[in-house]
Structure 1
Amino acid sequence: MSPTLRSAVDVAAGGKTRAVIYVRISQDRTGAGLGVDRQREDCEALAARNGWDVVEVYVDNDVSAFSGKLRKDYRQMLADLDEGKATIVIAWHTDRLHRSPTELEEYINLSERRGISTHTVQAGTIDLSTPSGRMTARILGAVARQESEHKGERVARARRQKALAGEWMGGIRPYGWGLPTGEMRKKIDRKTGDEVEVPELDMMKAVPEEAEALRYWTDQILSGASIRSLVKWCADKGITTTRGNPVSHTDMRDMLLRPRNAGIAVYRGEEVGRGKWEAIVDETKYRAVAAILKDPARTTTPGAAPKWLGSILYRCGRGECPHFVYVTQSGGRRFPSYRCQTGHGGGRRAEIVDQYVEDVLVERLSRPDANDLLLPAPDAVDVTGLQAEAGQIQQRMRDLGGLFGAGELELAAFTEGMETARAQLEGVTRQLARAATQDPLVGLVGAQDVRKAWKALELEQQRNVLRALVTVTLKTPRQGRMPDGGYFDYDAVHFAWKRERGSK
């Protein structure tokens, strides 16, 4: 049935033709919704001229039809039309409805099944009940899709050009940058719709307090701290992300791994050169942190944080048992105990074991020869030379990308060249990491009061010292009263030192 005939049937039935309006704008930079408001006014005017009764208006603001993101109001409109809510759909243009051939075919099937006609302000009436109307809709959809793809290519080229030039490419303000210039600009508040003034930000300059936090986090990771401890530090200090949200484990890891910290420009995950903004973290330290956090052997514990020094670090020494011990409450809540993961044997009072291990470590680190425990400085690590080599590799990667983009290099050769360059860059990164990674014993060796310095460490840092220095094994204890008059067998706690000969 044609749109004109359908309207006549509705009028003959004694009622006005029921219509719905759909409006959408793919990018609302101000948040004011002005684009959809203008579309709505034009669509309402079209409905008034034709005497249609608008029963619903569906709005998807700042959502691209081409991006594939869910358009909630569009999907609701289809469901309502399938329930018979209206027989007319009004849009500003067909490309506001759909730019995907799949979506168009779904819409055509619904229109045929429910007798729905489509009217647009710009493209006129699209009669999907006829072959010519469907052909017109498909042609318009193909043209709209081509325009979207072309626009995407232009945006991508512009972003790549900015990245190669070391400029800010836009997006969410990264933590550490965006120093207020002293000037103000107007912005529409997305929540209230009111026009407000906000500070103009210079994205090339660092925010002092945020830069200091980034440097602190970097040094802490190099000293053996965990991401978990840094997240807690942020919570205690009231530090949030640039969006005002609490810093999560993922947020902290992403901020530490951001190449921008070291003044490195990135495009689509690949380093493309130096940025024009202020570097906050020394590149050597950034490379070291990246190597630590990306190390496949790095232990991550998504569960609860360890609360005891030796949990899953002390070894079970009963016979040939290869497992570690952990703390349980099987001895009663007053007496948490270390027990083997397999559950065999008795437990050892966790508080007493940890205190004894601490006493032994502090005593050893307080000796005059404690300096001998420190790892030797990396031999012949030419940081300047390695950084220059990294720059050359990155330039080669950019050159490969340029040749491939210009059609002068085949895909196979491009892929092989990029894989080789990435492997070389990873090797350079690991060498730079050796120059920046800090021995966990630094800060304890040579301290005026070693015990005070030990107590000042976070638990995870203490555990890193334990990992680096000694393997503790809990042997089967003797029964009864010990020579010192107590019942704890200290001789059953065995120390195997990793950085010196002999053991305790």
Structure 2
Amino acid sequence: MSQDRTGAGLGVDRQREDCEALAARNGWQVVETYSDNDVSAYSGKLRKGYRRMLADLDEGRATIVIAWHTDRLHRSPTELEEYINLCEQRGVTTQTVQAGALDLATPGGRLVARMLGNVARHESEHKGERVARARMQKAKAGEWGGGIRPFGWGVPTGETTKKVDRRTGEETEVPVLDMDKGVPEEFAAIDTGHDILLAGGSLNSWVKWLADKGITSTQGNPIGTTEARDILLRPRNAGIAVYKGEEVGRGNWEAAVSEPKHRAVVAILKDPSRRTTPGSEPKWFGSLIYRCGRPGCTAYAYVTQSGGRRYPSYRCQTNHGGGRHAQKLDDYVQDVIVERLSRNDAQDLLLPGPGDVDVAALQAESEAIRRRLTDLAGLFGAGQITMAQFTEGSDTARAQLEGVNKQLGRAATQDPLVPLVGAPDVRKAWDAMELSQQRSVLRELLEVTLLPPRQGRMPDGGYFDYDAIQFRWLRGPEPYYAK
């Protein structure tokens, strides 16, 4: 049976009863029953019961096959030819409840079997086209296409429906969900995830936030980094409908975040400069951000505790240098940043805001471009334009759409300095930030270069060479150097 919507196997049971009745009328002994429930003969997926039947026939276990209909056996010409060859070699005959006997020992019988197989395949292909068309129409209409409840949507309506467990056949009552309405707690979580990334935070920060709040996936599992990324990348969050990976318009459901906010987060997550290989989050403020200042070296510094040292220290990636007390260096750089952002002219360090972005006009342009893409596909399908014209027009439209999406993303991008500039207590605001956010501020504001330090005791009586730490400010009306 190709589709069992309830999972109860009732259709298969009815087919088996009809086949057993046919065997009884002919006085045949049933030696084995083979069943593939909810697996289409047309899909190409492995049908374990069918393959086991072929193996048993090849070993001579039986000489007659009974099927409810020919299309229960095959909807693939390749499969049919394999079956015909086996039947010829082993003298197997085929009987069906609905289509009668198939005489595969004669050319005429094989012709009939092939014709029935072609008809069945045509019906499957036609059904596939109808299903695909229906899904596309639902997507363009902004309707929910079914499947596992997406994180964020599905509010109980107060009604219930029956659901059958595929494995046990047990029937239970489950609530009917309104997939157009957002779940408040999950909507808030999606919005928080966007805010964390837009403020310079990481996916791991959001994953930890979800775990601390006890928020799980819609199936009750902890949300990991990969799933968290997939959730934030979904166009559905901004009310955008998708069909086969392509955006096709606006959905009818509530949006969890604005489109500019969604575009901005997508731009961050798909930035090729972001680290995509798995690994732990950096534990030190300047790890792989501070630069080595030795002549001719362009490497970054990382923290290690080697060479018999009693404390973690910064060392160049090329393994020369070392000895920069990690905690002292990080504290010093952070003190410099906090002191700079506490000054009266700190406002000058902020980037220009997105006030010049006309979000409404960009969204209208985005919709117009998508309509052009749909129109191009229709013209090509009707044979009114060539493949070359379709490809050229599509490439141009997609390039325009990418530019519009980048501008929409810029409208929601938050400068990581915003929470600090103008804060009543910059030090308190700084200490309240997560490490990933502090590191974003460092990248945006300051370039730190570690020059070769002097040896011995410094003028202040200590051994840390503050003069070997070089700063280059990346923002401000004029270069500013800490002393």
Query: By the TM > 0.5 criterion, same fold?
Result: yes
The answer on 1:216 being equivalent to 2:192 is yes
| CA drift at 1:194 | 1.2
| CA drift at 1:165 | 2.1
Q: Tell me: CA distance 1:467–1:72, structure 2 relative to 1, closer, same or farther (3 Å).
A: farther
Counting only pairs closer than 5 Å after superposition, residues 353-502 of structure 1 correspond to structure 2 as 353-378=329-354, 380-500=356-476, 501-502=479-480
Counting only pairs closer than 5 Å after superposition, residues 6-155 of structure 1 correspond to structure 2 as 25-155=1-131
**CA-to-partner distance for each residue in 1:187-223, whole Å, 9 max, x for gaps?**
1123432111111111111111111111111122211
What SS is found at the alignment partner of 1:447?
A: coil
What SS is found at the alignment partner of 1:369?
A: helix
| CA drift at 1:59 | 2.7
Whole-angstrom CA distance in 2 between matches of 1:460 and 1:127: 73
Query: Does the 8 A contact of 1:312 with 1:324 survive in 2?
Result: yes
Q: Tell me: CA distance 1:408–1:482, structure 2 relative to 1, closer, same or farther (3 Å).
A: same
Query: Does the 8 A contact of 1:331 with 1:337 survive in 2?
Result: no
| CA drift at 1:377 | 1.1
Query: In the alignment, what sits opposite 2:135?
Result: 159
| CA drift at 1:282 | 0.8
Q: Tell me: CA distance 1:496–1:411, structure 2 relative to 1, closer, same or farther (3 Å).
A: same
Whole-angstrom CA distance in 1 between matches of 2:481 and 2:341: 15
What SS is found at the alignment partner of 1:54?
A: coil
| CA drift at 1:332 | 5.5
What SS is found at the alignment partner of 2:30?
A: strand
2:325 is matched with which residue: 343, 346, 349? 349
Whole-angstrom CA distance in 2 between matches of 1:354 and 1:116: 81
Amino acid in structure 2 at the alignment position of 1:124: G
Q: Tell me: CA distance 1:331–1:27, structure 2 relative to 1, closer, same or farther (3 Å).
A: farther
**CA-to-partner distance for each residue in 1:139-164, whole Å, 9 max, x for gaps?**
22211111111001111111122222
What SS is found at the alignment partner of 2:298?
A: coil
What SS is found at the alignment partner of 2:282?
A: coil
Query: In the alignment, what sits opposite 2:156?
Result: 180
Counting only pairs closer than 5 Å after superposition, residues 325-344 of structure 1 correspond to structure 2 as 325-331=301-307, 335-344=311-320
| CA drift at 1:425 | 1.0
TM-score computed with the length of structure 1 as normaliser? 0.89
Whole-angstrom CA distance in 2 between matches of 1:86 and 1:348: 81
Query: Does the 8 A contact of 2:354 with 2:412 survive in 1?
Result: no
Q: Which runs of 5+ in 1 are unaligned?
A: 1-24
Q: Tell me: CA distance 1:264–1:134, structure 2 relative to 1, closer, same or farther (3 Å).
A: same
What SS is found at the alignment partner of 2:462?
A: coil
Amino acid in structure 2 at the alignment position of 1:95: D
Whole-angstrom CA distance in 1 between matches of 2:29 and 2:280: 59
Q: Which moved more, 1:187-196 or 1:104-113?
A: 104-113
| CA drift at 1:312 | 1.7
Percent of aligned positions that are identical: 72
Whole-angstrom CA distance in 1 between matches of 2:279 and 2:89: 53
Q: Which moved more, 1:107-116 or 1:455-464?
A: 107-116
Question: Number of aligned pairs?
Answer: 480
Whole-angstrom CA distance in 2 between matches of 1:65 and 1:153: 17
Query: In the alignment, what sits opposite 2:230?
Result: 254
The answer on 1:170 being equivalent to 2:146 is yes
**CA-to-partner distance for each residue in 1:450-480, whole Å, 9 max, x for gaps?**
2332232222222211111111222211111
| CA drift at 1:334 | 5.5
Q: Tell me: CA distance 1:48–1:487, structure 2 relative to 1, closer, same or farther (3 Å).
A: farther
TM-score computed with the length of structure 2 as normaliser? 0.92
Q: Tell me: CA distance 1:56–1:467, structure 2 relative to 1, closer, same or farther (3 Å).
A: farther
Amino acid in structure 2 at the alignment position of 1:455: D
Amino acid in structure 2 at the alignment position of 1:502: Y
Q: Tell me: CA distance 1:198–1:489, structure 2 relative to 1, closer, same or farther (3 Å).
A: same
| CA drift at 1:169 | 2.4
The answer on 1:324 being equivalent to 2:300 is yes
What SS is found at the alignment partner of 1:61?
A: coil
What SS is found at the alignment partner of 2:195?
A: helix
Q: CA RMSD in A?
A: 2.3
Query: Does the 8 A contact of 2:196 with 2:205 survive in 1?
Result: no
**CA-to-partner distance for each residue in 1:366-417, whole Å, 9 max, x for gaps?**
2222222111113621112111111221222222233334443333322222
Amino acid in structure 2 at the alignment position of 1:44: E
Amino acid in structure 2 at the alignment position of 1:43: C
Whole-angstrom CA distance in 2 between matches of 1:333 and 1:36: 72
| CA drift at 1:365 | 1.9
Whole-angstrom CA distance in 2 between matches of 1:322 and 1:216: 37
Q: Which runs of 5+ in 2 are unaligned?
A: none
Q: Which moved more, 1:141-150 or 1:249-258?
A: 249-258
Query: In the alignment, what sits opposite 2:240?
Result: 264
